[in-house]
């Protein structure tokens, strides 16, 4: 098998995706700064609120007592917003609102959430599990929503950044263990991976050396690739111990990257918490397996004059942390950037409010999605390869320079 | 930026879920798979090696056979050559012997002939002498019986003497 990209090319790719990411974040957040006040975004929401409230008032009465204080607050803002629009800025704002909506839509898609939106009415309310000062409390996230609006329930409310916080003297949330969209996606992917790979593993039970059949023949070349092209060249002679971890890592990232590309799917590998965890595991494995030679190279690089060591040692020490940090950022950025680009291109249709733009937009989206398939694979490869490389540096035996 | 702040709940879920995945897959998927792959690769390598060895052995065997054949051929050639040489030598020997024998026989024969010839000649001489003597005796007896003839003969001798 041939290495399809050298590390320099990968580095360039990473930088390119970082730039794309920064640009797209700039675009999607630009609206926040583009508006005169930060409140405008709330006003926008509030206007919708107000409309909903009106409907509520007319049609239903049972929900009125539920979190009345919050509704009242929204209503007030709604009036404020209407007043703002009355100032003759309506025409100029109109376009902004669309862009704002698209920015919201994009962020909503790439961020974690307590509900899983599939389509306008297809909403899956996920369980909320809170570890509070007062013990574990469980709810359904449906309790916190009423007509797509956040409402207070049992002393808790989902705030603007999607986090659950205590209000009105309820016990503070210590950790939110809710089955969010990402957690649900994680669990689904775990089940799929276990089912698939245990069935693959069954083929090889008892040292069966026959040629693979069915699903085993699909994954065997990839397993051999990870072993022979990632683990062996980067780790060196002691590679065998690390191959199972690298395989799990590679397939977890790769499959979740691919799952993330499906419409309506969660952005699991584009979540900083996930990449953080994976990077921390790499950090632990690398440093636990670090031999004397590895630590000597960090703490006192052999063959370097003492004064230089004063600078070099802190830099080398810092590199212990920058390596996993770069892993964390690279995967997060590459996947998030890809999602932002795809969603922005779809968003163009809504910004221009025209059917005419749709074919061009869809063409671009298709093209970018193709690239995303490539990126999903490359990022899994890169994360695994760099993990293997760092392990290789940690277990490398002393050799003369 | 909420995007850049890791959510502790998700970290815990991810950590637990991923570690479960690593351990279960490591135990029940990767371990048997990598083991079987290694076994298979070793098997292939061994099969290739033994095939190589068999081929080498075959070649060796063939070379040996060839060598043996060559040797046998050379030996046969040698034996033939030797036989031919011996035969030739024998033939020459026999020829020589025969010639020698023939020569000896010829010489013996010649000597015999010579001897017989001598003997014959001697005998002939003797007989001629005897006969001559007998003839001479008879002639003389006859001649000397007649006086006139004796006288004539003496005269004739004397005449001859005078001429000289």
Tell me the pLDDT of chain A (401 aa) as tens digits. Answer: 444 445 555 555 555 655 555 555 444 444 444 333 334 444 444 444 444 444 444 433 333 334 333 333 333 333 333 333 333 334 444 556 667 778 888 888 888 888 888 877 788 889 999 998 888 888 988 888 887 788 888 888 888 878 888 887 788 888 889 999 999 999 999 999 999 999 999 999 888 888 888 899 999 999 999 999 999 999 999 899 999 999 999 999 999 999 999 888 888 999 999 999 999 999 999 999 999 999 998 988 888 888 889 989 999 999 999 999 999 999 999 999 999 999 888 888 888 888 888 888 989 999 999 999 999 999 999 999 999 999 999 998 876 55
A243 and A147 in a single domain? The answer is no
Give me A2's structure tokens: 């041939």
Predicted pLDDT of residue A231:
95
How buried is B125 (Cβ within 10 angstroms: 0-12 exposed, 13-18 middle, 19+ buried)? exposed
Residue A22 pLDDT: 55
Q: Which residues of A touch B17 (CB under 8 A)?
A: 186-187, 190
pTM of the model: 0.69
A117 lies in a domain?
no
Count the helices and strands in chain B (H runs, E runs). 3, 0
Going from the C-alpha of A308 to that of each of A75, A175, A343, A393, B32, the distances in angstroms are 66, 45, 49, 22, 49
Q: Which pLDDT score, from 0 to 100, does residue A393 have?
A: 92
The shortest CB-CB distance from B35 to any of A193, A203, A207 is to A207
Contacts for A142 with CB less than 8 Å, ≥ 6 apart: A115, A125
In a domain, A133, yes or no: yes
Q: Tell me, yes or no, whether B3 lies in a domain.
A: no
Q: Are residues A161 and A187 in the same domain?
A: no
- Give the per-residue pLDDT at A98: 67
Residue A58 lies in a domain: yes
* B 24-63 residues inside an 8 A Cβ radius of A: 24-26, 28-37, 39-40, 43
Residues of A whose CB is below 8 A from B5: 272
> Rounded to whole angstroms, how far apart are CA atoms B45 and B1?
56
Nearest CA-CA partner of A253 in A343, A327, A353, A364: A327
Q: Are A293 and A349 in the same domain?
A: yes
User: Which chain A residues are within 8 Å of B39, Cβ to Cβ?
Assistant: 207, 209
Same domain, A171 and A256: no
Q: Residue A389's pLDDT is what?
A: 95
Measured in whole angstroms, the distance separating CA B132 from the mean position of its chain's CA atoms is 72
User: Residues of B with CB below 8 A from A276's CB?
Assistant: 6, 11
Indicate whether B98 pLDDT > 90.
yes
Out of B2, B12, B26, the one facing A161 most closely (by C-beta) is B2
Q: Which residue's structure tokens are 């839509």?
A: A105
Q: pLDDT tens-digit profile of B33-66?
A: 999 999 999 999 999 999 999 999 999 999 999 9
Please check whether residue B1 lies inside any domain of the structure: no
Total domains, chain A: 3
Distance between first and last Cα of chain A: 30
CB contact under 8 A, A177 and B13: yes
- Residues spanned by the domain of B116: 8-163
Yes or no: say if A227 and A243 are a contact pair by the CB < 8 Å rule: yes
Q: Is residue B151 part of a domain?
A: yes
Comparing CA positions, the residue from A204, A105, A115 lying closest to residue A164 is: A115
**In B47-148, beta strands by DSSP E:** none
- pLDDT for A91 equals 43
pLDDT of residue A55: 40
Q: Pick the residue of A247, A249, A259, A279 with the most B CBs within 10 A to test the interface with B by mutation.
A: A247
Q: Are residues A152 and A61 in the same domain?
A: no
Mutate to test the interface with B, among A183, A215, A254, A255 (most CBs of B within 10 A): A183
Q: Judge whether A56 and A68 are in contact, CB under 8 Å.
A: no
Same-domain check for residues A140 and A200? no
Q: Is residue A67 part of a domain?
A: yes
In a domain, B121, yes or no: yes
Closest of A20, A15, A80, A21 to residue A49, by C-alpha: A80
Residue ranges making up the domain that contains A62: 35-110
> Between the CA of residue B15 and those of A138, A176, B133, what are the distances in Å?
21, 15, 167
Each residue of A241-274: b (16+ CB within 10 Å) or e?
Answer: ebbbbbbbbbbbbbbbbbbbbeeebbbbbbbbbb
pLDDT the model gives residue A13: 57
Domains in chain B, number: 1
Query: Which of A281-295, B5-19, B39-53, B141-155 comes out lowest in average pLDDT?
Result: B141-155
* DSSP state, residue A65: T
Same domain? A320 vs A337: yes
Q: How far apart are CA A165 and CA A181, in angstroms?
A: 18
One domain for residues A79 and A162: no
Q: Which residue has the tokens 């669309």?
A: A98
A100, A244: one domain: no
Look at residues A141, A161, A179 and tell me which one is the last residue of a structural domain.
A179
- The distance of Cα A127 from the centroid of its chain, to the nearest Å, equals 20
Can you say whether the dihedral through the CA atoms of B134, B136, B139, B144 is positive or negative? negative
Cα(A326)–Cα(A292) distance, rounded to whole angstroms? Answer: 24
Does residue B86 lie within any of the structural domains? yes
Q: Is residue A22 part of a domain?
A: no
Q: What pLDDT is recorded for position A240?
A: 92
The answer to whether residue A19 sits within a structural domain is no
Whether A62 and A142 map to the same domain: the answer is: no
Please report whether residue B2 resides in a domain.
no
CB pairs under 8 A between A and B: 130
Q: What is the pLDDT of residue A277?
A: 96
Q: Answer yes or no: do A245 and B22 touch at CB < 8 A.
A: yes
For every residue of A267-309, DSSP letters joined together read --TTSHHHHHHHHHHHHHHHHHS--HHHHHHHHS-TT--HHHH
Same domain assignment for residues A187 and A239: yes
Q: Do B35 and A220 touch (CB under 8 A)?
A: no
**Which among B4, B8, B15 has CB closest to A175?**
B8
Whether A174 is in a domain gets the answer yes
Distance CA A269, CA B14 (A): 10
Taking a C-beta distance cutoff of 8 angstroms, is the pair A304, A312 a contact? yes
């Amino acid at each position: 098998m041939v290495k399809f990209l050298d590390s320099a090319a990968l580095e360039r790719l990473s930088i390119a995706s970082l730039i794309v990411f920064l640009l797209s974040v700039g675009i999607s957040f630009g609206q926040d700064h583009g508006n005169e006040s930060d409140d405008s975004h709330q006003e926008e929401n509030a206007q919708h609120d107000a409309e909903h409230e009106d409907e509520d008032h007319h049609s239903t009465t049972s929900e009125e007592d539920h979190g009345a204080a919050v509704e009242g607050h929204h209503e007030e803002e709604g009036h404020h917003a209407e007043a703002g629009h009355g100032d003759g800025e309506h025409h100029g704002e109109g376009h902004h609102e669309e862009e704002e909506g698209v920015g919201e839509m994009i962020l909503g898609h790439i961020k974690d959430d307590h509900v899983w939106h599939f389509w306008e009415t297809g909403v899956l309310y996920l369980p909320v599990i809170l570890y509070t000062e007062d013990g574990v409390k469980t709810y359904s996230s449906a309790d916190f929503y009423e007509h797509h609006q956040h409402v207070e329930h049992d002393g808790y409310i989902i705030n603007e950044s999607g986090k659950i916080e205590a209000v009105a003297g309820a016990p503070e949330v210590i950790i939110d263990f809710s089955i969010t969209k990402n957690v649900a996606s994680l669990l689904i992917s775990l089940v799929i991976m276990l089912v698939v790979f245990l069935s693959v593993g069954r083929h090889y039970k008892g040292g069966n050396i026959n040629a693979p059949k069915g699903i085993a023949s699909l994954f065997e070349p990839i397993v051999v690739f990870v072993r022979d092209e990632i683990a062996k060249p980067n780790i060196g002679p002691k590679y065998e111990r690390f191959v199972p971890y690298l395989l799990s890592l590679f397939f977890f990232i790769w499959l979740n990257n691919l799952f993330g590309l499906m419409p309506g799917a969660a952005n699991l590998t584009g979540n900083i918490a996930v990449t953080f965890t994976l990077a921390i595991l790499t950090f632990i494995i690398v440093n636990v397996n670090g031999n004397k030679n590895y630590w000597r190279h960090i703490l006192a690089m052999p063959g370097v004059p003492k004064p230089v060591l004063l600078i070099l040692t802190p830099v080398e020490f810092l590199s212990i942390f920058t390596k996993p940090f770069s892993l964390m950022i690279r995967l997060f950025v590459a996947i998030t950037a890809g999602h932002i680009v795809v969603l922005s291109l779809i968003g163009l249709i809504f910004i221009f409010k025209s059917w005419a733009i749709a074919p061009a937009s869809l063409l671009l989206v298709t093209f970018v999605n193709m690239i995303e398939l490539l990126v999903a694979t490359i990022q899994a490869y890169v994360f695994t390869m760099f993990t293997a490389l760092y392990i290789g540096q940690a277990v490398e035996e002393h050799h003369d320079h | 930026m909420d995007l850049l702040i890791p959510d502790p709940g998700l970290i815990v879920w991810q950590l637990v879920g991923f570690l479960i995945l690593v351990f279960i897959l490591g135990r029940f998927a990767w371990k048997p798979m990598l083991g079987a792959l290694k076994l298979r690769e070793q098997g292939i390598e061994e099969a290739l090696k033994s095939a190589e060895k068999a081929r080498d052995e075959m070649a060796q065997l063939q070379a040996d056979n060839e060598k043996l054949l060559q040797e046998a051929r050379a030996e046969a050639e040698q034996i033939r050559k030797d036989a031919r040489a011996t035969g030739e030598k024998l033939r020459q020997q026999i020829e020589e012997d025969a010639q020698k024998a023939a020569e000896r026989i010829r010489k013996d024969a010649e000597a015999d002939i010579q001897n017989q010839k001598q003997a014959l000649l001697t005998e002939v001489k003797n007989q001629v002498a005897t006969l001559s003597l007998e003839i001479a005796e008879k002639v003389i007896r006859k001649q000397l019986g007649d006086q006139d003839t004796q006288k004539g003969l003496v005269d004739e001798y004397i005449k001859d003497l005078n001429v000289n």
